[in-house]
Amino acid sequence: MSVMESLVTRRTYRRFAQKPVPQDVVDDIVEAVRLSSCGANRQALRLVVVQSPEMVAKVQPLVKWAAYLPPEQGMPKADETPTLYVAVLQDSSAPGDLSTDTGIALANMTLAAWDKEVGSCIMGAINKPALTELLGIEEPLKLACMVAFGYPIHKAHIVPLTADTGVKYYLDENRDYCVPKRSRGEIARWL
Ligand SMILES: Cc1cc2nc3c(=O)[nH]c(=O)nc-3n(C[C@H](O)[C@H](O)[C@H](O)COP(=O)(O)O)c2cc1C
């Protein structure tokens, strides 16, 4: 898969087969973060890999799915849940703003997984206090976000963003995600 093909097809996935993510993919996810570019090469991000079924089940109720959809459409059912979560932590004792580093790491880890057909959902709407306790995260580390991973059982298509769609994704008749994106002309100008 070319990088551009990956960028088109590496969408957000929210329903998954009940099949574990193999260890080589987990290793690639961690490696993708380890090798990421970061400000002043500080390398101030840390990960918690949640892969035991017991711990994955404890994370499930602490994340919120698909805010644009009613829960019966957007929330994975019991047999559609992700089989792996990775928590992304920031070392708050490191100088500077780590949000750009975090964004680059999120892009790299989700692309690395997608290269092996493992889909993902970056999750910012999470119960940080409860997850911090559950995952044993201690100062100066702070939980930035969770990423859910698994083998998708739905498709996701880019559609043109129109006055009708706005930015909200929706499900089509196959329960596949349709994700409106602005045109190139709307987001860039050429001098
Ligand atoms: C920083 C960030 C936080 C997000 N948080 C959530 C979330 O809490 N729950 C969720 O279902 N999706 C979440 N998403 C996924 C977005 O809804 C998704 O990226 C967006 O709708 C565009 O879809 P696409 O990734 O397929 O382009 C998040 C994405 C990002 C980048």
**pLDDT at 73 (0 to 100):** 96
Taking 50 as the pLDDT cut, the residues of the chain under it are: none
**pLDDT at 96 (0 to 100):** 86
* Residue 89 CA, ligand 1 centroid: distance in Å: 18
Evaluate whether the domain defined by 3-153 bears CATH number 3.40.630.20. no
Cα atoms in the 13 Å half-sphere on the side-chain side of 83: 18
Strands (E), 1-139: 45-50, 84-91, 119-123
**Rounded Cα distance, 27 and 112, in Å:** 10
* Residue 123 CA, ligand 1 centroid: distance in Å: 6
Query: Residue 118's Cα: distance from chain center in Å?
Result: 11
* Residue 125 CA, ligand 1 centroid: distance in Å: 9
Check if the beta carbon of residue 99 is closer than 8 Å to that of residue 44. no
pLDDT tens-digit map of 37-47: 999 999 999 99
Pocket of ligand 1 (CB under 6 A): 11-12, 14, 64-66, 121-125, 156, 169, 179
**pLDDT at 72 (0 to 100):** 95
Strands (E), the chain: 45-50, 84-91, 119-123, 141-150, 156-160, 170-171, 177-181
Which of the four CATH numbers 3.40.50, 1.10.101, 2.20.180, 1.10.287 does domain 155-191 have?
2.20.180
> Residue of the nearest CA to atom 23 in ligand 1?
12
Sorted by where each begins, the domain ranges of the chain are 3-153, 155-191
